[in-house]
Structure formats: C-alpha cells, structure tokens
C-alpha cells in the first residue's frame, strides 16, 4: 500500500512518499499505531495530506509545530499546500 | 516487557584531559593558504601524517584574524588529534595558532614552524618531515579503550537537501542526536540562514532567556545582511523548487532543517569554531555551506559529524569523520561510494524509522572506533574558514 509519514503525534498533516491518485488508500506511518486514510485528490510525492479536517484559520501542524494557518476549510484526505495554507511569517 | 536498551559504547583514544578521540591523527596544519603546498607535501612524505589545509589566513585583521586563529587552533587541538605541527609563512600566525591549540589541549605535543625563519620550501619540508616522523613514532604506541556515548559531541549538518532530508534523514539524525544528549553528550548544529522562519519556534526550545534572545538575534543578523546585499530572504522562501517539492512555508522548510538537531532544549550558542562551555544541544551561529559548516563544527569540538543529504555531496572533514546519511534511494544508488548510511528503505517501505535510527547510531560508534568513512577512504576531505569581513 502507498504510504505517508507523520512526523509528530500532534500533527494534522502527513507527507506522502509517492505520487498519490484520487481515491487512493494510504497507510499512515510514524505514530505508535498505523492507520489508513483515503486521498480525496491527487497529491504529488513529498507533498502533504490532511489527516483531520482543518478549519479555516486553524493551525497546520507538522513536526509538532505550526507551519502555517489554513486559508479555507481543508477536508480530511485533501492536498495541503500553498493554495490552502499560508505562512505565519507574512 | 521490553528491556531498556543499554547505551552503546565505542573504542576511542583516552586523552590526559578532555574528551576521547575516535582517531589519533598527526595533524600537519596550515596557518595560511600560502603554506598549503608544503603541508600537502608532508602528507605524501610521512605515511601517518594528516594534512589539514586552510583558506585565507594572510593579511587578516581584527575579528577576522581572531576567527581564523581560533578555527585553525581548535582544529589542531581536536580530540581526534594526538599531535600537531602548525606550518605558516611567518612566526606570528604560527605561534598564535599553536597557542590557541596549547590552551585548548595542554596535553598535546604541538610544534610551530614558519617558512620565513626556517628558510624556503626545501628546508621547511625537510624540517617538518623530521618533526613528523618523531611524533609519528610517539603516536604509534596509543591504544584504544572503551569510551561512553556520553563522552561524544557530534556535529549535525545537512547539505544537498531535498524532500527526503526533511522527512527522513534529518529526523533520523535528530533521533541519534537525542540519544547522544540523553547519554550526557552534546550535539552541535548550525546553519543560521536555515533557522530563519522558524527562529521563533527554536527560541522556545532555549534553556534560558539569554539563549532564546541570541537565537532570534543571530537569525535577524543573517536576514539583515541578506537585505543589505539586496536579497529578500523571507520573501523568497520557500523557493519555487521547494514549493514544487511540497514545502508550503518558510517555517516548514526551516523546521525540516532544524530536525537534525533532535528535540532537547538548546543550552548554549557559540560563534564560528568556538568551543561550548556546556553539554547538551548547542547552536553554532555559522554559515550553511557544507565545507565552511563542517569546519566550524569540528573546530567547536565535534568528534564526528553526521551529514544528512538528499541529492548528495561527497565532502567530509579531514579530522572529524563525516558520516553521510541519505533517505533518497536514487542518491544511495548513484552516489553509493559517497554514502555511509543508506536509510532509503524508509522511503521504499523496507525499513522502519527506528531501524534507520539504530543503523545510524551503530555506524557512529563504529566510525568512532576506527571504521573509515567514505570521505576518509576517498580522500574527499576539505577545510575552509568562514570570513568575518571583506578582504582588504
């Protein structure tokens, strides 16, 4: 099965380890328990997938830290990138 | 119930004082660029001599001169060096570097030689060969003894970074760094420009307010300098190729780089090549470029350097063995002779992240016990000293 790595238990995104097609099932690794998630859209290698629904203006967490805030509501399984999150550094 | 894993040990050279070495180099150290040819020649004439070349060194002033002497002196007095000969053009620099080295490792036999007083290439070469053969004889009796992981200071560097660096090789390097710190040792990481964007997050990890302020200040100095030469660093990061690679913000990019230093509080900040006074996680305010950075980390006392790479870089340090680790399967294949630890199985699903950590930790103790790194085997080693100012 295709895989995504989660860097910290607090994270709401994971990094996909290969190009992912819509509706593809992914195994999430890195936490104590391995879980699965379905991608809702295409996600290129090295890009991020939402592990939970992220509300608009909510923090996006990777490495257990804030890497930006959501500019719109991001449904679970979506591609998380510059089109729907922005840096907090302006 | 799982038994707690014993802390690994390594076989090193115990010194009369200070940390043990993983090598017992007879270092022939250049004081200036103009002394490099003689130093290289000694390396080819005396089997056990390790030439340590430098960049610049002539006509330096003020802080620049102090930084040069500090880096070269601390390199000569490195725990992996058993004896050192400083070779420089004139007496002032040769003696200044030898003094820094003697202050740092008072137990070490150190000779200072200058070309002007000895007189020319041939006489200096012959004189240094004579000194080197005597010191080589003295070093030959040294024996390795069992040393503790907590006696280690490792350097953490990332170069030739790509997507795999931020999610595989840097986090795995950080896990090993954490193990070293938990055993009572230290990790030094640096690359000031790479903390920019996440310096506010890094500052929160500082052990005290002064260290937090210095983290913020060092990032600001780097950004201000970039601006003074017309570069908007924050505005231009992540760069278009970073964005194509999946990085969405400067915080994300910097956090991926910082990950190589593990997760413990930052106890101290040092300048280029300065020796820390504390144990634990140390930040060195030093430039990012690979050779400059490993030169600073080694001068700060890193007995070994873990060099995390994505797209690859062959270089290592002449004194501090440099362990190349990659999570990129293509690099592991195409640059195999330059890679010490291949953890690309994490990418391909054949290796777990904790297995990757154990593999890197095992390589670290093996290298500290005498196993040669790829850069040592191939002679792919170099040193350069960062400049504090413009040349005049």
Q: Domains of chain A (ranges plus CATH)?
A: 2-86 (2.30.130.110)
A19 CB near a chain B CB, below 8 Å? no
pLDDT tens digit sequence for B30-68? 999 999 999 999 999 999 999 999 999 999 999 999 999
Give the model's pLDDT for residue B388: 86
What tens digit of pLDDT does each residue of B8-20 get? 999 999 999 999 9
CB-CB: which of B234, B243, B246 is closest to A89? B234
Q: What pLDDT is attached to residue B123?
A: 98
| Cα angle for residues B352, B150, B368 (degrees, 5° grid) | 70
Mean pLDDT of B121-137: 97
Q: Do B167 and A44 touch (CB under 8 A)?
A: no
The 10s digit of each residue's pLDDT in B231-256 is 998 888 999 989 999 999 999 999 99
Residue B6 banded pLDDT, cuts 50, 70, 90: confident
Q: What is the pLDDT of residues B254-300, one digit of tens each?
A: 999 999 999 999 999 999 999 999 999 999 999 999 999 999 999 99
Distance between B359 CA and the closest CA of chain A, angstroms: 17
Q: Does B95 touch chain A (CB under 8 A)?
A: no
Domain spanning B25-139 has what CATH number?
3.40.50
Could you give the CA distance from residue B180 to residue B303 in angstroms, rounded to a whole number? 12
A69 and B CB contact within 8 Å: no
CB contact under 8 A, A66 and B197: no
Task: Mention every residue, 6+ apart, whose C-beta is less than 8 A from residue B30.
Answer: B36, B39, B51, B52, B53, B54, B57, B72, B87, B88
What value of ipTM does the predicted structure carry?
0.97
Q: Above pLDDT 90, what percent of chain B?
A: 92
Q: How many CB atoms lie within 10 A of CB B150?
A: 16
Q: What pLDDT sits at residue B85?
A: 98
What pLDDT score does B86 carry? 98
Give the number of other Cβ atoms within 10 Å of residue B102's Cβ.
19
Which residue in chain A has the smallest CA separation from B348?
A17
pLDDT of residue B5: 65
* % of chain B surpassing 70 pLDDT: 98
At residue B50, the pLDDT reads 98
A42 touches chain B (CB under 8 A): no
What is the rounded average pLDDT of the residues A15-36?
90
Query: Is it the case that residue B208 has pLDDT exceeding 60?
Result: yes
pLDDT value of residue B156: 98
**CA-closest candidate to residue B248, choices A44, A80, A4, A72:** A80
Q: Mean pLDDT in chain B?
A: 95
Would you call B248 and A82 a contact, using CB atoms and an 8 Å cutoff?
yes
Query: A6 and chain B: CB distance < 8 Å anywhere?
Result: no
List pLDDT tens digits, range A26-78.
Answer: 999 887 677 899 999 999 999 999 999 999 999 999 999 999 999 999 999 99
DSSP label at residue B381: B
User: Which 147-176 residues of chain B touch chain A by CB within 8 A?
Assistant: 163, 166-168, 171
pLDDT band per the 50, 70, 90 thresholds, residue B134: very high
DSSP label at residue B192:
G
Cβ atoms of B217 and B274 within 8 Å: the answer is no
Q: Return the pLDDT at A90.
A: 67
Say if residue B238 is preceded by a cis peptide, omega within 30 of 0: yes
pTM check: above 0.80: yes
Nearest to B34 by CA among B55, B50, B52, B49: B55
Q: Which residues contact B322 (CB under 8 A, 6 or more apart)?
A: B157, B294, B304, B305, B307, B315, B316, B373, B375, B381
What are the φ and ψ backbone dihedral angles of A63, each rounded to 5 degrees? 60, 20
Q: Confidence band (pLDDT; 50, 70, 90) for B168?
A: very high
Kindly list the residues from chain B whose CB atom is less than 8 angstroms away from the CB atom of residue A68.
248-249, 251-252
The confidence band for B389, taking pLDDT boundaries of 50, 70 and 90, is: confident
**Cβ-based burial of B234 (10 A; exposed 0-12, middle 13-18, buried ≥19):** middle
């Amino acid at each position: 099965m295709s895989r995504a790595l989660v860097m910290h238990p607090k994270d709401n995104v994971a990094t996909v380890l290969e190009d992912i097609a819509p509706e593809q099932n992914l195994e999430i690794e890195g936490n104590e328990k391995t879980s699965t998630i379905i991608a809702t859209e295409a996600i290129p290698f090295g890009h991020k997938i939402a592990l939970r629904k992220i509300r608009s203006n909510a923090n996006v967490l990777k490495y257990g830290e804030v890497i930006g805030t959501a500019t719109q509501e991001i449904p679970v399984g979506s591609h998380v990138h510059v089109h729907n999150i922005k840096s907090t550094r302006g | 119930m799982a038994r707690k894993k014993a802390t690994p040990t390594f076989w090193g050279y115990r010194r009369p004082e200070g940390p043990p070495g993983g090598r017992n180099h007879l270092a022939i150290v250049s004081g200036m660029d103009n002394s490099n040819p003689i130093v290289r020649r000694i390396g080819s004439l005396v089997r056990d001599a390790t030439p340590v070349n430098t960049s610049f060194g002539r006509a330096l002033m003020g802080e620049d001169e102090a930084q040069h002497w500090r880096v070269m002196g601390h390199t000569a007095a490195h725990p992996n060096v058993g004896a050192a000969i400083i070779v420089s053009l004139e007496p002032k620099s040769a003696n200044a570097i030898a003094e820094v080295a003697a202050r740092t490792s008072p137990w070490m036999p150190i000779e200072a030689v200058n070309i002007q007083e000895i007189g020319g290439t041939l006489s200096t070469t012959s004189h240094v060969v004579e000194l080197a053969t005597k010191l080589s004889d003295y070093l030959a009796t040294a024996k390795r003894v069992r040393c503790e992981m907590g006696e280690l200071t490792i350097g953490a560097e990332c170069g030739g970074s790509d997507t795999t660096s931020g999610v595989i090789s840097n986090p795995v390097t950080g896990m090993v760094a954490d193990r070293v710190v938990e055993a009572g040792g230290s990790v030094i990481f640096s690359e000031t420009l790479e903390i920019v964007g996440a310096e506010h997050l890094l500052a929160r990890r500082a052990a005290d307010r002064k260290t937090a302020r210095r983290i913020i200040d060092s990032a600001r100095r780097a950004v201000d300098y970039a601006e003074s030469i017309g570069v908007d660093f924050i505005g231009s990061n992540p760069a278009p190729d970073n964005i194509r690679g999946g990085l969405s913000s400067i915080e994300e990019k910097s956090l991926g780089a910082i990950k190589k230093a593990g997760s413990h509080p930052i106890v101290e900040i040092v300048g280029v090549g300065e020796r820390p006074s504390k144990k634990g996680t140390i930040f060195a305010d030093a430039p990012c470029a690979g050779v400059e950075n490993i030169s600073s980390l080694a001068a700060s006392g890193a007995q070994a350097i873990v060099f995390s790479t994505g797209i690859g870089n062959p270089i290592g340090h002449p004194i501090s063995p440099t362990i190349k680790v990659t999570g990129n399967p293509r690099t592991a294949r195409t640059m195999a002779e330059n890679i010490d630890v291949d953890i690309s199985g994490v990418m391909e699903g054949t290796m777990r992240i904790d297995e990757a950590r154990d593999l890197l930790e095992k390589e670290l103790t093996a290298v500290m016990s005498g196993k040669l790194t790829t850069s040592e085997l191939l002679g792919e080693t170099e040193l350069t000293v960062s400049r504090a100012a413009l040349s005049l």
